[in-house]
Structure 1
Amino acid sequence: MTTNPQQQPATSPLMPMVIIGTLFFVFGFITWLNGALIPFLQIVCQLSSSEALLIAFSFYIAYVVMALPMSFVLNKIGYRNAMSLGLALIAGGCLLFVPAAEAQTFLLFITAQFVVGSGLTILQTASNPYLVKIGPPESAAVRISIMGLLNKGAGWLAPVVFTALVLGEFSGVTAQSVAALPDAERQIQIQSLADSLVLPYIAMAIALIVLALALRASKLPELNLENETSAQKDAEQPSGSVLQFPQLVLGVIALFFYVGVEVIAGDTIGLAGSTLGVPGALGLTSYTMFFMVIGYVLGLLLIPRILTQHQLLMVSACLAIVLTFCIPFTDPDSNMLSTVLWDWTGIATLPNPITCIALLGLANAIVWPAIWPLALEGLGKFTARGSALLIMAIAGGAILPMVFGLISDHVGVLDAYWMTIPCYGFILFYAIKGCRITSWK
């Protein structure tokens, strides 16, 4: 990559933090919009649960398919230009939603999601290392935690905005209520729902293009990592393959399972709520994201003052297993859990199984930030390749929700959550022992 010498801010990284924070908010908003989009498209395109979850599959599989091509592009054009390109690609994907909505063609929706996912791939590939390098290394963890809060806060906001701008008067609609309508009336309502998608996505595309141009024109300093790379080459490092590190290999597997169950908790709560006839089911992802934000805050407060990363990761996995067991067994006609937990706030309560799914957000929050440092510990010159493997683990967000959808078509949505228990079980194993294994011998 040909770049100018690295230009770091002379005083503080505040302005780059604001810009990168905006990007983290954007890809948090876009990512967790899927939770509302999946049940919405289930209605518009009249899909089964497994077909609807192809929306998540096409989105997350882009991270796997496009990771290496986008890293090549990043090396060619630099970090700032790559971030602008990522925003432009996301805008292009949003514009594809317009013909997809007008034609009610699921293949076009899938294509649009893949383009959006491709844009997010290069955006995240560029912004994550930039976030680490714009300030002192000793405060990098603080910057990452702040970005995590912005990301999940956007995830809480996305379904709320989607419900308000796209659904409007149809906010209480469910797949079951639409299916019960006479054919002519059902087609009219589906067309009205599809049309409501057009203007918000055009507005979102315009906003993203403006942000891309503003970022391109900004004075965000370019990164030059050539000196750092040379220093790493000169350092004495172990030889062999990156696969020689069990804590990394097992961490990749744990992260694969984690991303899968995180997406399931965030993106299928709307399907579960729609199955139970919960009003406003398309916006239920906000509950899961709200509890993820709480989990991030608790992580900042507890680590390392009260609990270590290992300990909080174990607590999170155990909590998730307990909640998953409760989902099919709790009474769907009772709102007791949510009444106890948050009825005093005035927020609408939920049936017990849906409350358990929402609380998975609390259990999931600390897993991603805990696994990364544990998996990369002691890798030395293999750190970059180890990071690439961990990024590839995002494929779990494409594959496991599809498995969930296929299972739910046969046993029902609530019983399908049983499939996540082995996933959380492996995460628990990694927290207890896997992350401490440093040799295959």
Structure 2
Amino acid sequence: MSQLVTALSGGQVVSYVEKLIQQKREREQQPVCAYIYDLGALRERAQRCVSSLPDDCSLFYAVKANPDPQLIASLLPIVKGFEAASIGEIRTIREVSADVPIIFGGPGKKDAEIEEALERNVMLIHAESLHELQRIGWIAERRQQRVAILLRINLRRTLPEASITMSGRPTQFGIDEIQVPEAIRLVQSLPFVQLEGFHMHSLSNNLDARLHARMVATYLQCVQTWIQEHSLSIRYLNAGGGFGISYTDLERRFEWNDFIEELQQVLEDYRIPGVQLIFESGRYIVAHCGYYVAEVIDLKTNHDQHYAIIRGGTHHFRLPVSWQHNQPFEVIAVDDWPYPFPRTERRQTSVTIAGELCTPKDVLAHEVHVEHLRIGDVLLFHIAGAYGWTISHHDFLSHPHPHFYYINQT
């Protein structure tokens, strides 16, 4: 179930949740469980990012972070295009727009996916290996259709540390840097494949903004060398995304303005004329626009540790247990108590927030301090807009799915 509402801003989310709780209590006697997306806040954040980028830079939204069509539609007039990591994501994007630019990435593209991507008029395909490049060329020639590609390269040089590292060490992503000459020769031998540039997405969730810009300088220097050594004429360097979000230290953040300031200097020093610099961001754009709401259905003490059991859990929102962090939340007090017996509560103590699944791993926050928490109160989890619902094991134990609500500030 989904619902679209209008005229609320991100700062009014708590008030909106309180009204939602009241409405649900009046209509049905079921615990509250929902995702809420603030589309106005999403558009505002994306617009700030796009507006501040230097000339010859463009921002694509990495759909893997959250492929909700409402979010894609909200971003459509703001971002340059969308980066998809599967044919399913491409289909979702095309349901929203028939012609918006799409970049197709991912390390395991199947022949049928490449075929359909060409039918759906993708802008660029990231070639992740020599074998994949050969298959792209074979399919393109059979179709008599020219294909624009970027070679995804796994660099061998030292790169910054981040939550997830996909380059600078052995991984399943991209073509080894030492194979770049072979890859270029191969693509030049394929009559229906056009090398439009390179893709280097080395890090995910990096919080050091200035170091991130200097990493882009490394990319530019590498590409400049390949252009000179192989007499290339290219149009794009895709520097990936990887702009980080901290879920544990809310004072720590990726300082976008610092990144832009440093990037301006990088481009003054290393800009490649005629080459557009692409960034494909997901988490950084959508994480803060999403909330997960779950009602406390039980409070219990087990082996001297306090637990709050919620309607929901990791089958809806797997990110906290996947990344092993405590998801930040606030308590929304609900005074209504429908039962004739006393209401269990906890004051000034540590509580573990656990879900309704039959596994001890179903935990969204471990031993976190609460001032006052009662059965029937509702938890509002923040920073839940990215890698939440779609990375979760929805149907484990066949519990009902959450509702979805959209705040649409116009």
Q: TM-score by structure 2 length?
A: 0.22
Compare the two structures and name the one with the higher strand fraction. Answer: 2
Higher helix fraction: Structure 1 or Structure 2? 1
Query: Which gives a bigger RCO, structure 1 or 2 (Cα 8 Å, sep 6+)?
Result: 1
Taking structure 1 as the reference length, the TM-score comes to 0.21
Computing the radius of gyration from Cα coordinates, the structure with the larger value is 2
